[in-house]
């Protein structure tokens, strides 16, 4: 794991596996963990890394319902777990199929994926939720479907955690649950953050996001 400090109390954490990028926002009273990792073992390592930074109680937000972003959630319980209702539905009803697909694709993962508890989010982000972490306000935003029906972005000052709406080091991952036309629109509504943290890869700027948005737009012409 490799920490990247993006602003005071706002950090991204890079993981070699799947080029995954997770996030942490620290306030005076609480902290917010952005995504929880690929399985229970990975989640436990991620939780320990967060605890090395702060002892504060945490909330968790799931940016979307793909297994590599939420199957580590059990390591963070008890905690409020935020997600869009569509993401909660997919976590509940779609995780088993995702695990089966990836266990076949990468058999080395099969045992860890099978052992990972599926934790249902218990807090809703329907459009916008503002969390007060103590001296720091964080916005959880659903701007429409895109990479998945239930994408949530996290705005912490001038840093935006985008989940897999943005990927650095690879083209956008357009799966069967993506709505590409809406995805293009969502990326046009993110404003002008100083830093955008993708779900996979290194933090980027808005010029990178604009180029990726143009790449997606070509798919719907």
Under 8 Å between Cβ of 27 and 56: yes
Q: Among 74-78, 147-151, 167-171, 207-211, which is the least confidently predicted range?
A: 167-171
**Average pLDDT of the segment spanning 131-159:** 99
Q: Report the side by side order of strands in the sheet with 2-7.
A: 2-7, 10-14, 21-26, 31-34, 58-61, 81-83, 123-124
Query: Would you say residue 124 has pLDDT above 80?
Result: yes
As a whole number, mean pLDDT of residues 82-110 equals: 98
Mean pLDDT confidence for 160-164: 99
Which whole number is the average pLDDT over 156-183? 96
Cα–Cα distance measured from residue 189 to residue 14, given in angstroms and rounded to the nearest whole number: 26
- Global pTM reads 0.97
Please report, rounded to a whole number, the percentage of residues in the chain having pLDDT higher than 70. 100
* pLDDT of residue 179 exceeding 80: yes
The answer to whether the beta carbons of residues 10 and 156 sit under 8 Å apart is yes
Among 1, 12, 26, CA closest to 161:
12
Looking at the DSSP bridge assignments, the partners of residue 153 are 141
> What pLDDT, on a 0 to 100 scale, did the predictor assign at position 205?
98
Query: Given this model, what pLDDT does residue 98 score?
Result: 98
Among 1-5, 110-114, 116-120, 170-174, the range scoring the smallest mean pLDDT is 170-174
What CATH number corresponds to the domain at position 9?
3.60.15.10
Please report the pLDDT score of residue 1 as a whole number: 94
Other CB atoms within 10 Å distance of the CB of residue 81? 22
pLDDT score recorded for residue 221:
73
| Closest-CA residue to 91 (of 63, 118, 60) | 118
Q: Considering the chain, what is the average pLDDT of its residues?
A: 98
The number of distinct structural domains making up the chain is 1
- Domain range holding 12? 2-220
Q: What is the pLDDT of residues 60-77, one digit of tens each?
A: 999 999 999 999 999 999
Nearest to 92 by CA among 67, 109, 127, 112: 67
CA distance 130 to 164: 21
């Amino acid at each position: 794991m490799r920490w990247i400090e993006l602003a005071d109390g706002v950090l991204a954490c890079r993981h070699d596996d799947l080029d995954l990028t997770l996030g942490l926002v620290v306030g005076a009273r609480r902290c917010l963990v952005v995504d929880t990792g690929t399985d229970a073992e990975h989640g436990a390592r991620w939780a320990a890394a967060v605890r090395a930074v702060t002892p504060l109680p945490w909330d968790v937000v799931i940016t979307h319902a793909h297994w590599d972003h939420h199957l580590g959630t059990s390591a963070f319980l008890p905690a409020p777990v935020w997600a869009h209702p569509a993401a909660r539905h997919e976590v509940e009803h779609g995780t088993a199929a995702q695990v089966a697909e990836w266990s076949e694709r990468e058999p080395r993962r099969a045992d860890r994926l099978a052992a990972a508890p599926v934790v249902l989010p218990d807090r809703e982000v329907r459009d916008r939720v503002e969390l007060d972490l103590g001296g720091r306000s964080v916005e959880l935003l659903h701007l429409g479907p895109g990479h998945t029906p239930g994408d949530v972005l996290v705005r912490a000052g001038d840093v935006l955690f985008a989940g897999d709406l943005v990927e650095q080091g690879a083209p956008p991952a357009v799966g069967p649950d993506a709505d590409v036309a809406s995805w293009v629109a969502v990326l046009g509504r993110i404003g002008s953050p100083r830093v955008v943290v993708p779900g996979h890869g290194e933090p980027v700027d808005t010029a990178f996001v604009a180029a990726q948005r143009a790449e997606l737009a070509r798919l719907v012409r």
